[in-house]
């Protein structure tokens, strides 16, 4: 039973038996993510005081300009996970290909691979808006003792053993699930410890917030346009409130607490959508479903989609269950 104000370390130890393959390795992996997140948080909080904001001058595999903090966060998470020797492979939204961890012979015997978006919403750093980190953890499917292959990363979301996000905002929170509900931990910066502040987080079944970039309205499918008009109609408790931050972590975190729907659909300019299935949609879908919400591509469950490439993009609808189902009705 989760006890409010217990530390993240205490929580992990007490709930280790909930892990399907309880060996301590997954616990150490989550602890490593906790450590890297504290390092990144420290740097994020110095933005504006040191030369860490702005573009890094490089373009990532997504065709997006990398921010300096993108590069910093990516390096820190990869470095921390590699040095702890607890994963056999890492895939990052910022890297062209996956990384095989083979510093020591026994590294190939590690069970888990991690997929990560090191700094979601990084373009907001310069204007002091909340950003985040998203992570997804799978058990490898290739034989132990051999190097990882692409098959270890191209798994359906329903095979995740853990997923979570860190939101760097007015306070820093780590929210994660191992398939037994969702719990949120807030960092006490004075002592560097995360405390359980949001036990058993749940999406309200209904909400009154819709989060979508309406600036792209003319490019949206007709079903999405019709749903937006539905949200704006003055009947049955509507119109809903439009809230869009532009950081996936922040938008979904708010909607999970207050009730709402987040939509990033395909469009005439992005035929497959913009969000990445492996680094953003699958981990968020796991969290959302564990919190009683729903996540789909507008037609089918996100976590049942079979990935075909490392940086695959998909449309994304997630949030309060009744709101997502209503949006899906319009998409038909």
Annotated binding site for Mg(2+): 93, 117, 119-120, 280
Reported as type and span, the H/E element at residue 8 is helix 8-14
Q: Are 90 and 98 in contact (CB under 8 A)?
A: yes
What is the three-class DSSP state of 63?
coil
Q: Are 101 and 90 in contact (CB under 8 A)?
A: yes
- Tokens of residue 191, six digits: 């002592």
Nearest-angstrom CA–CA distance, 18 and 27: 11
Residues that constitute the known binding site for substrate:
120-123, 213, 244, 274
- Tokens of residue 176, six digits: 């994660």
Nearest to 114 by CA among 82, 72, 67: 82
Measured in degrees and rounded to the nearest 5, phi and psi for residue 172 equal -100, 125
Nearest-angstrom CA–CA distance, 199 and 181: 9
Reported as type and span, the H/E element at residue 209 is strand 209-211
What is the three-class DSSP state of 41?
helix
Q: Are 286 and 160 in contact (CB under 8 A)?
A: yes
Please provide the DSSP assignment of 132-169 as one string.
Answer: EEEEEEEE--SPTTS---GGGTS--GGGEEEEEEEEES
Residues that constitute the known binding site:
93, 117, 119-123, 213, 244, 274, 280
């Amino acid at each position: 039973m989760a006890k409010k104000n217990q530390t993240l370390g205490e929580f992990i130890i007490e709930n280790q038996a909930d892990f399907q393959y309880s060996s301590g390795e997954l616990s150490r992996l989550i602890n490593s993510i906790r450590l890297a997140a504290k390092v990144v948080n420290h740097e994020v909080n110095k933005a504006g005081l040191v030369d860490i904001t702005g573009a890094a001058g490089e373009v990532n595999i997504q065709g997006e300009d990398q921010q300096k903090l993108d590069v910093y966060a990516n390096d820190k998470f990869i470095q921390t996970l590699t040095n702890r020797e607890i994963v056999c492979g890492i895939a990052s939204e910022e890297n062209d290909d996956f990384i095989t961890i083979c510093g020591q012979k026994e590294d190939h015997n590690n069970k888990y691979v991690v997929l990560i978006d090191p700094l979601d919403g990084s373009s907001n750093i310069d204007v002091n808006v909340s950003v985040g980190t998203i992570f997804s953890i799978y058990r490898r499917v290739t034989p132990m003792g051999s190097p990882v292959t692409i098959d270890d990363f191209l798994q359906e979301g329903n095979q995740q053993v853990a997923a979570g996000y860190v939101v760097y905002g007015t306070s820093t929170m780590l929210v994660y699930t191992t398939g037994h509900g969702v719990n949120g931990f807030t960092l006490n910066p004075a002592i560097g410890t995360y405390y359980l502040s949001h036990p058993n987080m749940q999406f309200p079944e209904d909400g009154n917030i819709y989060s979508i970039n309406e600036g792209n309205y003319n490019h949206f499918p007709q079903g999405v346009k019709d749903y937006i008009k539905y949200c704006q109609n003055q009947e049955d408790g509507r119109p809903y409130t439009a809230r869009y931050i532009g950081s996936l972590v922040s938008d979904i975190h708010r909607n999970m607490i207050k009730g709402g729907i987040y939509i990033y659909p395909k469009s005439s300019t992005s035929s497959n959508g913009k969000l990445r299935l492996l680094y953003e949609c699958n981990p968020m879908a796991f969290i959302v479903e564990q919190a009683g919400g729903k996540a789909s591509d507008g037609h089918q469950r996100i976590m049942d989609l079979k990935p075909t490439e490392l940086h695959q993009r998909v449309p994304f609808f997630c949030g309060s269950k009744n709101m997502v189902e209503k949006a899906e009705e319009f998409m038909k």
